Copies of this chain bind each other. A is one copy, B any other.
Amino acid sequence: MYRTHTCGELRLENIGTPVTLAGWVQTVRKFGSITFVDLRDRYGITQLLFGEALNPQLDDQPLGREFVIQVEGTVTERSNKNKNIPTGDVEITVSKFTILNKAQTPPFTIQDDTDGGDELRMKYRYLDLRRNIVRQNLELRYRVNRAARNFLDSKGFMDIETPFLIKSTPEGARDFVVPSRMNPNEFYALPQSPQTFKQLLMVSGYDRYYQIVKCFRDEDLRADRQPEFTQIDCEMSFVEQEDILNNFEEMLKYIFKEIKGIEFKDAFPRMTYDHAMEFYGNDKPDIRFEMKLVNMNDTVKGNGFKVFDEAELVVAICAKGCAEYTRKQLDELTEWVKRPQIGMTGLIYARYGADGSIKSSVDKFFDESKLKGWAEKTGAQPGDLILVLAGKEERTRKAMSELRLEMGERLGLRNKDVYAPLWVVDFPLFEYDEEDKRWVAKHHPFTSPKPEQISWMDDLSKYGNIKANAYDIVLNGTEVGGGSIRIFQRDLQEKMFAALGMDEEEFNHKFGFLLGAFEYGAPPHGGMAWGFDRLCALLGGSESIRDFIAFPKNNSGRDVMLDAPSAIDQKQLDELQIALK
């Protein structure tokens, strides 16, 4: 037996007990003839006491950092107690030790505040994973996993595994494909989500399904995307949107209570997509703070200021208490909105002084009384700063949405320990893809339109107005989940495919099995999928999902530790009957 106890469990009441411990050497400190070693494992740290007389062997076998050792000894009381760790009252007086494995000096320090850069830590991810902060992230992930399972189990959801080798039906994101050796020239695809399978399970009568499951998207990776990611995927039968929102609101509350000890007493607020777009400029508002967008078109147009007069949208926010921003700060904000990611040509501002005076960067066109109108419109009070952007509607709204978040950040209104969940509902069914010049599904092609708007699907001019029974759950400005009530009738599903530009041959080829299933008694159903990586990151107070994935890939989709992907043997290519180009 390698150990009688872990490094996290010995206490004062164990004094006098002979024990065997095993773990990693965290630190070695010599004081004359005595050597202290902190021995570490997943459960904690226990101090070991070596004496020259007792352990003469130590001279020949010096212990280095990260060595794996086993010690026998007796639990003794520490004279110099460490109140910061649960095992800090005791130490082990070592009678015998064995080096189980030596260790080279790690290429970076195994500390929260490590000296290792990103690339180096990813190459030696097995060492990075030793750092407390990373281990805590993975422990949190494990706890969230368990909490979600406990909740779903208790509500009668069944965990049912769906296949990974499925059919390629590219729609939206690109599929990863897998050549089949047994079926030459044919390919499987890895699932972007188990969407159609969970719908089939509803048709099969399983009523409540869930799965915590890997999904795959072959997309160019932005900062916080991974080619493989994990969803908490759920589906329910005989439900309306209200049932789903209630059920999953309860789940998120349960997770918050279990993981963070936070209790949400009130129902989560709900907001329509249109409201979110108008007042926050995006469909995932961070509602930890107000600072809503104010449409200024009616207030500012027709005063001879071309920038406003020619703009599709003039939009403002009121930054509370910022009237004293210096010229330098305002110039800096102006540069900020001019960055290519934001893409505006300038920033207009009006300072509402504490003395009641208002001065703007466009005084030439707007006298003080007109600026008072701005203040009235934006709700600005003496001491506030009004920031205004003008230009093409979509870009300007987006820019102001970003500026609002930036100002929220600067004003300390985005505390990561404050959690503000929000349901966004009534998403549009379609959105227009400017690049492909066609209407695409905003959510996915299985999302149902509002029943009273189904007839609008016959009128292309109304496509943009049709709302879906679709909803997202947003946490602190990040979408952590979304779903919809699904189409469950063959004729409506066909209508939807047709609206998306598929002809009968195409939709039967891609989704014939689902259309078929709808003919044999499909119940009304709907569900949600949660971005599990992102949920964990938010609960862990981090921006990056990568910190919550044991073996993540970099921005080029590479695992730098494994050096994957990599070339494969010609023999493998031959067996698959494919060639490189």
Contact = CB atoms under 8 A, between A and B. Distances in A.
Interface of A: 1-3, 6, 22-25, 40-43, 66-68, 70, 100-104, 106, 124-127, 129-130, 135, 138-139, 141-142, 145-146, 149, 153, 158-168, 170, 174-183, 185-190, 197, 200-201, 203-208, 214, 216, 218, 220-221, 227-228, 230, 238-240, 242-243, 488-489, 512-513, 516-524, 549-551, 553, 556-559, 561-569, 572, 575-581
Contacts of A162: 550-551
A280 B95 CA distance: 48
A126 B517 contact: yes
A565 B180 contact: yes
A1 B581 CA distance: 56
14 contacts: A1-B243, A41-B205, A42-B206, A68-B524, A126-B204, A126-B517, A135-B206, A149-B149, A163-B551, A170-B572, A185-B567, A197-B550, A512-B563, A579-B580
Contacts of A175: 572
Contacts of A40: 205
Main secondary structure of the interface of A (DSSP, over half): loop
Given A167-B564, A565-B165, A129 B578 contact: no
A266 B106 CA distance: 47
Contacts of A581: 577-579
Contact of A22 (B167, B519, B523, B572): B523
A554 to B, nearest CB: 10
Given A127-B204, A240-B2, A520-B106, A183 B558 contact: yes
Task: Report the 5 A-B pairs with minimum CB-CB distance, sorted nearest first.
Answer: A103-B521, A167-B564, A129-B204, A186-B565, A2-B238
Contact of A167 (B126, B565, B579): B565
Contacts of A523: 22-24, 68, 100-101
Nearest to A105: B520
Given A100-B524, A581-B579, A566 B130 contact: no
B566 A186 contact: yes
A68 B203 CA distance: 10
Contacts of A130: 204-205
Contacts of A183: 556-558, 565
Contacts of A216: 164-165
Contact of A568 (B168, B567, B569): B168
Contacts of A163: 228, 550-551, 553, 559
A217 to B, nearest CB: 11
Q: Chain B CB within 10 Å — which of A204, A207, A519, A557 has the most?
A: A204
Given A41-B207, A42-B205, A166 B549 contact: no
Contacts of A142: 158-160
A323 to B, nearest CB: 49
A501 to B, nearest CB: 15
Nearest to A176: B178
Contacts of A557: 165, 180, 182-183
A171 B149 CA distance: 36
Nearest to A181: B218
A201 B126 CA distance: 7
Contact of A220 (B126, B182, B208): B182
Contacts of A243: 1-2
